[in-house]
Amino acid sequence: MTSNTVPTAAPPAADPPLRVGLVSISDRASGGVYADQGIPALQAWLAAALTTPFHVETRLIADERPQIEATLTALADDARCHLILTTGGTGPARRDVTPEATLAVGTKEMPGFGEQMRQISLHFVPTAILSRQTAVIRESAGHAALILNLPGQPKAIAETLGGLRDADGRQLVGGIFAAVPYCIDLIGGPYIETDPAVCRAFRPKSALRGPA
């Protein structure tokens, strides 16, 4: 017996939900000396910039390298975050060890992110050259996460992620987040879309998806 049924292609698999880890690293905020401002600033910017639904995991920890490494590892490997943003602990002070912890857990360094962050900050303060912000990809057990070190101040967080605009809204300096969605594509994460009024994500034409 023959069949005239024409096989159809299987529908494309749905993307996994975007999972974002937010880590604020501060001795005093984690000790209750003052309220943390880093995580609220990150949450507010992401809520404005992302049109893709996302889930957030937050951690407020001290400037202790073993704790930072353990937190980043758990967010990447156990919570399965695709993107992890840290704030704080990137300066030259003795207690600033976020870059060392980040590099220790990474499997690939992504130095371009740190270079651009310093270029953005140099528009405001010459001490931007003291920043040691970096970025890595962590790959483990078939999952990959992009980990980015960000500044500690809310205003600097927004400028670093979204870039600088003039009074008419024209982009003067690109923010680092414009490159994040395509990076997440390349490491096997979900397709991230943004509000171009906040941050226009860049992808080559071959990587763009049409309307669903």
Look at residue 174 in the predicted model and tell me its pLDDT: 80
Closest CA to 58 of 87, 31, 33, 27: 87
30 and 61 in contact (C-beta within 8 Å)?
A: yes
Dist. CA 56–CA 75, nearest whole Å:
10
- Model confidence over 142-191: pLDDT tens digits? 999 999 999 989 999 999 999 887 777 777 778 999 999 999 999 999 99
The answer to whether residues 196 and 165 touch, using CB atoms and an 8 Å cutoff, is: no
pLDDT tens digits, residue range 4-31? 544 444 445 678 899 999 999 999 999 9
Cα first-last separation, the chain: 38
Using an 8 Å Cβ cutoff, are 180 and 162 in contact? no
Six-digit token pair at 130? 């003291």
Tell me the two tokens of residue 162.
């979204």
Instruction: State what percent of residues in the chain have pLDDT above 90.
Output: 82
Q: For 58-108, how does the pLDDT look when each residue is reduced to its tens digit (9 = 90+)? A: 999 999 999 999 999 999 999 999 999 999 999 999 999 999 999 999 999
Domains in the chain: boundaries: 18-203
- Per-residue pLDDT band for 124 (boundaries 50, 70, 90) equals confident
Give the distance from CA 181 to its chain's centroid.
9
Q: What fold, for 18-203? A: Molybdenum Cofactor Biosythetic Enzyme; Chain A (3.40.980)
- The β-bridge relationship of strands 143-150 and 83-87 is parallel
CA dihedral of residues 17, 114, 195, 11 (deg, nearest 10):
-30
Write down how long the chain is.
212
Predicted pLDDT at 176: 96
Q: What is the pLDDT of residue 1?
A: 41
57 residue type, one letter: E
pLDDT of amino acid 13: 63
What's the confidence (pLDDT) of residue 166? 73
pLDDT at 98: 98
Strand partners, 25: 61
Which residue, among 132, 138, 101, has the nearest Cα to 118 in the 3D structure? Answer: 132
In this prediction, residue 10 carries a pLDDT of: 45
| Alpha-carbon distance values, 126 to 1, 91, 118, 121, 123 (Å) | 79, 14, 10, 8, 8
The model's pTM: 0.91
